[in-house]
Structure 1
Amino acid sequence: MSHKISILLPNLCGGGAERVNIDLAHEFATAGHDVEFVLMQAQGELLPETLLSFDVVDLATPRARSLPLTLIRYLRRRRPDVLIAAMWPLTVIAPLAGRLSGHRCKVLVSEHCNLTSQYRNWGRMHRAMMRASMALGFRLADCRVGVSAGVAEDAATISRLPFDAFKVVHNPVPPRPEPSAEVIKRTEELWGAPPGARILTVGTMKAMKNHPLLLRAFAELDRPEARLMFVGDGSGRNELLSLARELGVADRVILVGFHPDPTPFYQTADVFALSSDYEGFGNVIVEAMACGTPVVATDCPSGPGEILDSGSYGRLVPVGNSTALASAIAVTLDEPAPKELLQSRAEDFHPAKAARAYLHLLGL
């Protein structure tokens, strides 16, 4: 039986949560359901791709405080069977709007980040507001998902709900099409010459990713022929360029901007490095492993340790320690994990598995 599933997001920027929900949407559609994206603002790098496959509703609501009334009107008009909301405060607004709309649909909320870490410096009043809103909103939701055990534990603590009120469903990471020889050739050219060790990171340039830490680790790495490539864009770009010049490595650092499919970059890299202070899950780690690219990551809350099984599939280093990160990169370059092992682990995060878990929770 087909059901109408609406997915509520702030927008479709090139972030991990947005990509996850697009991948889930494709699996829901494959299972025979009608999927519609509901955006506070219809914008972002992933919007054109989404429009090729799904209807998109623009609520034209830039501020979260205006969202409840707009969402109530949407629910009364479109009457979906399921509303999936990702990322606080949408995860507390959606259940409330669902109740107030008079239209009874199932509401599933999914948190994609460790909120305690994300909002650590926002002050006591903000923390109190977040706790109160989650305590109410999460209790009104029909289903609650954390994309890692760490995220679920954090959300349970904030909302004062038991951990078993949440279902851990790891993010889906789909297999990507094999890049053509021409695409690989163009990517090889971006790395530049002479040939040397290639270190890659992928992600939005924002504070939580701590890209300056990776730059410092790269500067400490005793590999004068090595290159470091950043795939992604964001507000931290100029700071990175300035730091690269200060550290004397600007001529070996490559910033290529946002790419919707970074597969050719993973496939041409020797090591993938994640330097985050915190994560929700870390999709990029799985993407790298799916390409057989060895991984080094900070053991941050929450996700990398779960994906890498406490270091069984890649090296984990303390958060904020550039020397440990440089050492782990060097060892990984010399002793890379077997490609087959990494690709086998990546298969554990196939989108079909995650989608089945979501649909089971919803009773569909």
Structure 2
Amino acid sequence: MGKIAILLPDLRPGGAERLHVNLARAWIARGFEVEFVLRQRRGELLGELPRGATVVSLEASRVRGSVLPLSRYLRSTPPQALLAAMWPLTAVAALAARLAGFEGRVLGSEHSPLSLAYADRGRLHRWILSTSQRWAYPRLDAAIGVSAGVADDLARMSGLPRDLFKVIHNPAALGMAGVRTDVPLELASVPRPVFLTVGTLKRVKRQDILIDAFGRLAAHGRGTLCILGDGPERDALAAKVQALDLGDAVLMPGFVADPGPWYAAADVFVLSSEYEGFGNVIVEAMEHGLPIVSTDCVAGPAEILEGGKYGTLVPVGDAQALSEAMRDALPAPLAKAALQARAREFGLDVVAERYLDLLIPGWRSGAVA
């Protein structure tokens, strides 16, 4: 039915990378070929690609070095459509497609509010970012934000009309809840309740504030905190755990390929981020019926939780409010069925087909746009 190329920096574990692996799986199941075009061929998720997916490496050590290799790829083995994820690759895709004379469709998707993601880079970087956005987005067949908050931010930064940007939420509900019921050994005999967070250990996720919030609970014997993931903040977070004398009450098992059993074994899910593009992990937790506590950050959590209907939202950076919400999450949790029904609205099949409608119009009828 045609080939779809997915342009990414690499396949190191991250929310955007993992969701494209899942989209590829759904598209291959529908008869499409999928090829990952990577700036560099590396990352743990290479081992999780679905059967039939292929990989091309541009062998570009810097982003600007990927323009010509991508242009050559689009000329020599053109896909029917190209989906580029995350600036500056969205701008690179628009430029390379023009240089190649590529006649297929080109989509760009942004997965975070770029004004916040690059807030500390200075005026020159901001000018480069906004200028490249103004040039690139109108030249794409579709510019996509993974939440309304991200789309709003793109319009503000670029100065382009808001209606240029489409919103397609991430395919975070994968139908995996209940598939595996084995309890991770690390959680088999720990004090309850278990508060779980999942994500890369980096500054924006603010796991340091989560540790502070949990510390207030731990002083009263309030269970176990499990921080699932790895990243550059690991040593600093481990030092904070020791400084607060939390000892075995905080677990940091590192990255796991399948977090499903950890969701299944937890009692409450907590997200403490300064900002998100969407918040895949919230949907994953809801799919397992977990009560949710999240910062009311830009851009996804409030959209997913419908302003607090499906979970508790607290101010960003407020450890006391986060602690109180964690304490109150268990006595009267929302019905598991309601959480799971909400999660299904972000199902893989629904989202995969929304992308296909933009990538290959007419695919439903078998026609080629």
SS in 2 for 1:145: strand
Q: Residues 230 and 254 of structure 1 are in contact (CA less than 8 Å); yes or no, is this contact kept in structure 2?
A: yes
Question: For 1:180 and 1:66, how far apart are their aligned partners in 2?
Answer: 43
Q: Residues 198 and 269 of structure 1 are in contact (CA less than 8 Å); yes or no, is this contact kept in structure 2?
A: yes
Q: Residues 24 and 50 of structure 2 are in contact (CA less than 8 Å); yes or no, is this contact kept in structure 1?
A: no
The aligned amino acid for 1:303 is: G
SS in 1 for 2:230: coil
The residue aligned with 2:318 is 321
SS in 2 for 1:333: coil
* Residue 8 (structure 2) pairs with residue 9 (structure 1): yes
The aligned amino acid for 1:34 is: E
The aligned amino acid for 1:156 is: A
Question: For 1:271 and 1:177, how far apart are their aligned partners in 2?
Answer: 15
Question: For 1:30 and 1:192, how far apart are their aligned partners in 2?
Answer: 36
Q: Residues 317 and 328 of structure 1 are in contact (CA less than 8 Å); yes or no, is this contact kept in structure 2?
A: yes
The residue aligned with 1:204 is 200
Mean alpha-carbon deviation: is it higher for 20-29 or for 315-324? 20-29
SS in 1 for 2:44: coil
The aligned amino acid for 1:138 is: Y
SS in 1 for 2:225: strand
For structure 2, the 5+ residue unaligned runs are 364-369
Question: For 2:221 and 2:242, how far apart are their aligned partners in 1?
Answer: 15
Deviations 1:309-343 (A, max 9, x none): 00000000000000000000000022222111110
Question: For 1:40 and 1:295, how far apart are their aligned partners in 2?
Answer: 36
The aligned amino acid for 2:333 is: P
For structure 1, the 5+ residue unaligned runs are none
Question: For 1:223 and 1:175, how far apart are their aligned partners in 2?
Answer: 36
Q: Residues 196 and 270 of structure 2 are in contact (CA less than 8 Å); yes or no, is this contact kept in structure 1?
A: yes
Question: For 1:231 and 1:19, how far apart are their aligned partners in 2?
Answer: 16
The aligned amino acid for 1:212 is: D
Q: Residues 178 and 288 of structure 2 are in contact (CA less than 8 Å); yes or no, is this contact kept in structure 1?
A: no
Question: For 1:142 and 1:194, how far apart are their aligned partners in 2?
Answer: 51
Equivalences for residues 210-359 of structure 1 within 5 A = 210-221=206-217, 222-359=219-356
Question: For 2:48 and 2:188, how far apart are their aligned partners in 1?
Answer: 30
Percent identical residues: 46
Question: For 1:351 and 1:197, how far apart are their aligned partners in 2?
Answer: 30
Mean alpha-carbon deviation: is it higher for 151-160 or for 280-289? 151-160
RMSD across aligned C-alpha pairs, in angstroms? 1.3
Shift of 1:179: 4.4
Aligned length: 359
Mean alpha-carbon deviation: is it higher for 219-228 or for 295-304? 219-228
Mean alpha-carbon deviation: is it higher for 215-224 or for 86-95? 215-224
The aligned amino acid for 2:216 is: E
Return closer, same or farther for 1:194/1:36 CA change in 2, 3 Å cut-off: closer
Mean alpha-carbon deviation: is it higher for 22-31 or for 74-83? 22-31
Question: For 1:284 and 1:223, how far apart are their aligned partners in 2?
Answer: 28
The aligned amino acid for 1:95 is: A
* Residue 172 (structure 2) pairs with residue 175 (structure 1): no
Question: For 1:194 and 1:56, how far apart are their aligned partners in 2?
Answer: 42
The residue aligned with 2:114 is 115
Question: For 1:350 and 1:321, how far apart are their aligned partners in 2?
Answer: 32
The aligned amino acid for 1:22 is: V
Runs of 4+ in 1 over 6 A off after TM superposition: none
Q: Residues 194 and 225 of structure 1 are in contact (CA less than 8 Å); yes or no, is this contact kept in structure 2?
A: no
Question: For 2:81 and 2:166, how far apart are their aligned partners in 1?
Answer: 17
The residue aligned with 1:139 is 138
Shift of 1:180: 4.0
Question: For 2:102 and 2:222, how far apart are their aligned partners in 1?
Answer: 62
Question: For 2:188 and 2:319, how far apart are their aligned partners in 1?
Answer: 25
Question: For 1:20 and 1:191, how far apart are their aligned partners in 2?
Answer: 27
The residue aligned with 1:92 is 91
Q: Residues 21 and 50 of structure 2 are in contact (CA less than 8 Å); yes or no, is this contact kept in structure 1?
A: no
Return closer, same or farther for 1:177/1:309 CA change in 2, 3 Å cut-off: closer
Shift of 1:192: 5.5
Deviations 1:199-223 (A, max 9, x none): 0000000111011010000011254
Question: For 1:262 and 1:310, how far apart are their aligned partners in 2?
Answer: 26
The residue aligned with 2:366 is none
Deviations 1:21-63 (A, max 9, x none): 1111122222221111000111111111116441011111121
TM-score with structure 1 setting the length = 0.96
The residue aligned with 2:63 is 64
